[in-house]
Amino acid sequence: MRISVTINGKKRIFDTAPGERVLHLLRRYGILSVKNGCDGEGTCGVCAILLDGKVVNSCQLLAPQIDGHEIKTSECLSQKNKLHPIQEAFLDTGIVQCGYCTPAMLVAAYELLQRKSEPTEEDIKDAFSGIICRCTGYKQIFDAIEVASKRIKGDENYKKEYPAFRSDLRLVGKSTRKVDGQQLVCSNPSFVEDMINPNTLYVKVLRSPHAHAIIKSIDVSDAEKIEGVEFILTHENCPHTLYGSSGQCYPEPSPYDRRIINKKMRFVGDRVAAVAATSEEIAMEALNKIKVEYEILPAILSLEQAINEPSVQIHDETTSEYCFHIGQDLAKNIAASNKGGIGDIEKGFKEADVIIERTYRTGHIQCTPLEPHVVYTYMEGDRLVIRASTQVPFHLRRIVSRATGYPEIKIHVIKERVGGGFGAKQDVVMEELSSYITLQTGKPVYHRFTREEEFIASRTRHPTIINVKVGANKQGQITAVDMKVQADTGAYGPHCLTVPMNACSKTLPLLRCKNMSYDVTVYYTNNIIAGAYQGYGAPSGAFALQTALAETATALKINYLTFIRLNHVRTGDRLDILKCLGEGQEGIPQQVTSCALSDCLDRGDFSIRWGEKEDGTAPYLKIGKGFAIIQQGSGLPGIDAANASIYMLGDGTFFLCIGGADLGTGLDTVAVKVVAEILMVDQDKVAVKAGDTDVTPFDVGSYASSGTYFTGAAAYNAALNMKKKILEESAKILNVSVDKLTLDYPGKVVSDDGELTYTKLAQLTQSGKGTGQIIATGTFTTEESPIPYGAHFAKVEVNELTGTVKVKAFHAYQDCGTPINPDLALGQMYGAVIKSIGHTLYEQMIFDEKGKCLNPNFLDYKVPTINDIPEDFRSELVFVDEKLGPFGGKSISEIATNGAAPAIATAIYDATGVWVREYPFTAEKVLEAIREKKT
């Protein structure tokens, strides 16, 4: 059928079918601003458009519903490359992170400001109520609207003031626009989904309905007969090589325990077969025609079962190979284990007046990036090109090479803009599959997870059972701490040792305690696959340890804040415990080079009014306060590595190449700023290319909080080398000695007698008579890694009639050394905090007794929206002078996921007198705990 629609002011005729979704129609006609985050369920809002001036979900509209109507998309905003004030405001307030939700937010902002030129906070919440953003924590939306509103009304230079640091620097420590911001607010082709060419094959995967089974037979003959089906992959025709999916440095401390498709199914959702066809519909039809016979095996579906029932074996030596020993014992389903400690733990407990021993539990939670996993692969001659949404382009190349047997030199990985990663995209969860199909068929292949697949076939946080034993004396000194972590890696073991180890390595070093021990055991089960998730194992460990400390303070009858003040680490302390807590190898003890914990605690003490009891507004509403101290790392010393190169271009500007992978966090911006700062030019005189394995030098990628510290430092070192070369070349040209020259803003070399602009320098060096283009490289490896610290404070209201916990206030204080870009740094904090409040209160995957996930969608698995942010929500950057890192920059984002659970748990206790020891603290659990206390 034909419909006629006015789109962004222009009347257009579309050929469509009555059942076609408007979302698909628009994308088919090149309108890229509409995104798909929930497959038409209506819950995510990233497909938003204006229909006759009202914001609606285009995924829930059928083509005939818009016939004769007027539609606007965010493409209507910028005119001929000139940004709309709303787009400008978005860029000036740090609200664009990954940018996947940005077009929808722009549409909502536009509609709101048309309706109300000076909206209230409530108006803003309402306008954005239908959009899920997993990155930003929503907080800076209020700033963006304020700025846009003022500018539209004529105050064109209105700015929101963000804190600024390091008055000795021009760019670093000040908020400037994100370098990829403009392409994202304009919806230029940015994401993998924007790159698909005609004649592409679409991949769909048949998934195991059984948690543990062997494929007895598989018959694809009927499926193959369907017209349009081009290739079907099963365990019968796929390579036998074992590999691991975790994007970690080689040799990985994770097993190689899977083939592209296995004969044995190990969880509900495991790959049975993959079909490549000329359309998604045909691929799906073909899946239905594949006949599979399974031999069903008994399954292990919980950690308790794994610990107590070693009779079922999930892997053996033929299916799980290790690069080196990480404490595995496959006969007992132990994928990895490690234990160690410092001091004399027995003695420590003997010295204690109070000993608290508690068990805490955490479950499966999902990263839920709004852009699900997606990949596009195709051949360029004999080279395989992988356009990926990944955190680890270089590891991805290596892993795909191993899995497919295709040499690394013939693989080109291009990281596109990533629509949210959060750890899930640190794993190779689909790229090796589509690569193999492209290699077999020679054809372009597109594979994109549905939202359901994103839940069941991506990576989750490891469920854990953590026993904590704390000893302390009457004076409030901690004398001993023992942590026993048992974790569920699921069917396969990516990150199986390292995530659970982080439960200890990012928590125990917070304490000045001489006697500490830990014991980590990780089990294979027939659950979905666990992996990396922002914070790694630290949020679970922080919840357990910090809550146990609060319980200890309560038992000692000491104010919890006083107790923590007595025991936390300080600048200059040596962290010997890190020697044993390595990543499968011996770790490196660290000196605390900077630590603002005391400062963070003071600020929270004051702002949350610690110790002041407050009453609820009804007799059944109880108010309580809590807090937690937190830390993370800044990359992995002795393991991670980053490199950068800088080219001086013909006009004296710079082209920076970094291997790092910006996943919306602002890493590209950090690197550019660092370079521009050193080379004395404006930020827009440095262009950046990142995460392209053909063009940019090696970098481990974005994980383990390494972005700013490692990639930033490589850029820093490259810039220093570039500076050196500029000075040397200029000295030759000006015929003076190097020590007489300095760099000066905006982009020149000066001496007492004259100057040479970079433009001139570039012309001279790059001409036929010159010495050649100036190219500098920088590399960064280290034995030292500065630790970021923080304290998060929460005030909650517990409804004793319903068990509902409402976070009324959340104040996050963090030190990240020098915040390179404060508004983006704050956005990282807000986003992580909101996500972790979700994890703490309601996010949980639910499974039936056969291991099938029952809530793989946003209707049933709830994530926070703008109406869920605390009324009083603050993030503050606490400056500390850090000598390591690029201009003293430490990491900022992962750490911010560690505070919510323990802060809220202690606040719930303060409010109600009950301890909740398993998150999420759902209303059901809280109500049950309150009931138990009453009886």
Ligand X SMILES: Cc1cc2nc3c(=O)[nH]c(=O)nc-3n(C[C@@H](O)[C@@H](O)[C@H](O)COP(=O)(O)OP(=O)(O)OC[C@H]3O[C@@H](n4cnc5c(N)ncnc54)[C@H](O)[C@@H]3O)c2cc1C
40 sits near ligand X (criterion: CB under 6 A): no
Q: Which of the residues 634 through 673 are near ligand FES (CB under 6 A)?
A: 664
Pick from 620, 678, 610, 617: which is nearest to 644 by CA?
Answer: 678
State the nearest-atom distance from the C-beta of 132 to ligand X, in Å. Answer: 11
Among 864, 870, 889, 899, binds another protein (CB under 8 A): 864
Q: Write each residue from 273 to 292 as x if it is in contact with another protein (CB under 8 A), else as -, in one continuous string.
A: -------xx-----------
Window 82-101: residues binding ligand FES (CB under 6 A) = 97-101
Contacts of 308 (CB under 8 A, 6+ apart): none
Contact flag: residue 140 with ligand FES (CB under 6 A)? no
Q: At its nearest, how many Å lie between ligand X and the CB of residue 52?
A: 15
Query: Residue 43, interface with ligand X (CB under 6 A)?
Result: yes
Helix, strand, coil tally for the chain in percent (to 5): 30, 25, 45
589 binds ligand X (CB under 6 A): no
Tell me the window of 57-65, 291-299, 643-651, 709-717 that interacts with another protein (CB under 8 A).
Answer: 57-65
Is 327 a binding residue for another protein by CB under 8 A? The answer is no
* CB of 62 vs another protein, minimal distance in Å: 6
When CB distances are held under 5 to 8 angstroms depending on the partner's kind, the choice from another protein, ligand X, ligand FES, none that residue 97 binds is ligand FES
In angstroms, the CA 926 to CA 905 distance is 10
Q: Residue 797: beta bridge partners? A: 623, 806
Q: Other C-beta atoms within 10 Å of 806: how many?
A: 15
Total residues interacting with ligand FES, rule: CB under 6 A: 23
Q: Which of 234, 594, 865, 912 binds another protein (CB under 8 A)?
A: 865
In whole angstroms, give the CA distance from residue 660 to residue 655.
Answer: 15
Closest CA to 446 of 663, 231, 204, 271: 204
Stretch 616-645 residues interacting with another protein (CB under 8 A)? 618, 620
Phi, psi of 199 (to 5 degrees): 65, 30
Burial environment of residue 781 by CB neighbours within 10 A (0 to 12, 13 to 18, 19 or more) = middle
Q: Which does 738 bind (CB under 5 to 8 A by kind): ligand FES, another protein, ligand X, none?
A: none
- List the one residue out of 813, 816, 828, 776 whose CA is nearest residue 654: 776
Q: Does 64 bind ligand X (CB under 6 A)?
A: no
Q: Is 42 in the site for ligand X (CB under 6 A)?
A: yes
- Closer residue to ligand X, CB minimum distance, 42 or 638: 42
Closest by Cα among 761, 709, 710, 711 to 892: 709
Question: Closest distance between ligand X and the C-beta of residue 848, in Å?
Answer: 24
For the chain, count helices (H), then strands (E). Answer: 24, 34
Q: Give the interface segment with ligand FES, choosing from 33-41, 328-336, 433-441, 782-790 (CB under 6 A).
A: 33-41
When asked if residue 859 is in the footprint of another protein (CB under 8 A), the reply is yes
Residues 6+ apart with CB under 8 A from 425: 369, 373, 389, 390, 391, 392, 418, 663
H or E element at residue 357? strand 354-362
Of residues 15-34, those binding another protein (CB under 8 A): 17-19, 21, 24
Give me the residue label for tokens 């004396």: 473
* Dihedral class, residue 399 (left if φ above 0, else alpha if ψ from -120 to 50, else beta): alpha
Pair type for strands 748-750 and 411-415: unpaired
Closest by alpha carbon to 761, among 786, 744, 778?
A: 744
Question: Please, is 664 exposed, middle or buried when counting C-beta atoms within 10 Å of its C-beta (0-12, 13-18, 19+)?
Answer: buried
46 belongs to the binding site for ligand FES (CB under 6 A): yes
Q: Which stretch binds ligand FES (CB under 6 A): 36-44, 307-315, 483-491, 598-606?
A: 36-44
CA torsion, points 911, 915, 921, 925, in degrees to nearest 10?
A: -100
Cα–Cα distance for residue pair 286/275, rounded to 1 Å? 7
Q: Which is nearer to ligand X, 65 or 467 (CB)?
A: 65
- Assess contact for 709 and 885: CB atoms under 8 A: yes
Q: Which of 65, 571, 607, 777 binds another protein (CB under 8 A)?
A: 65
In 3D space, the residue among 677, 663, 672, 604 whose CA is nearest the CA of residue 644 turns out to be: 672
**DSSP run (H or E) holding 465:** strand 464-472
Q: Binding to ligand FES (CB under 6 A): which residues in 419-438?
A: 420
From residue 580 to residue 619, what is the string marking binding to another protein with x (rule CB under 8 A)? --------------------------------------x-
Asked whether position 4 contacts another protein by CB under 8 A, the answer is no
| Residue 814 contact among ligand FES, ligand X, another protein, none, beta carbon within 5 to 8 Å by kind | none
343 is a contact residue toward ligand X (CB under 6 A): no
**What is the rounded distance in angstroms from the CA atom of residue 864 to the CA atom of residue 134?**
8
Choices 179-187, 233-241, 875-883, 923-931 (CB under 8 A): range interacting with another protein: 923-931
* Residue 236 in the binding site for another protein (CB under 8 A): no
Q: Which residues pair with 12 in a beta bridge?
A: 5
Our finding on whether 38 is near ligand FES (CB under 6 A) is: yes
Choose, by CB under 6 A, the member of 5, 37, 255, 455 that binds ligand FES: 37
Of 139-147, 609-617, 799-807, 898-906: span binding another protein (CB under 8 A): 799-807
Q: Please state, in angstroms and rounded to a whole number, the distance separating the CA atoms of residues 207 and 215.
A: 12
C-beta of 41 vs 728, nearer to ligand FES: 41
Q: Find, among 430, 499, 506, the residue nearest to 254 by Cα.
A: 499
Does residue number 515 form part of the binding site for ligand FES (CB under 6 A)? no
- Spatial strand order of the sheet with 748-750 comes to 742-744, 748-750, 755-757
Looking at 41-49, 164-172, 400-408, 709-717, which segment touches ligand FES (CB under 6 A)?
41-49
569 binds, among ligand FES, ligand X, another protein, none (CB under 5 to 8 A by kind): none
Q: Return residues touching ligand FES (CB under 6 A).
A: 36-38, 42-47, 57, 59, 97-101, 133-136, 370, 420, 664
Q: Return residues touching another protein (CB under 8 A).
A: 1, 17-19, 21, 24, 39-43, 45, 48, 51, 54-57, 59-62, 64-65, 67, 108, 126-127, 129-131, 280-281, 618, 620, 799, 801-804, 838, 841-842, 846, 854-855, 859-860, 862-865, 867-868, 922-924, 927-928
Q: Return residues touching ligand X (CB under 6 A).
A: 42-43
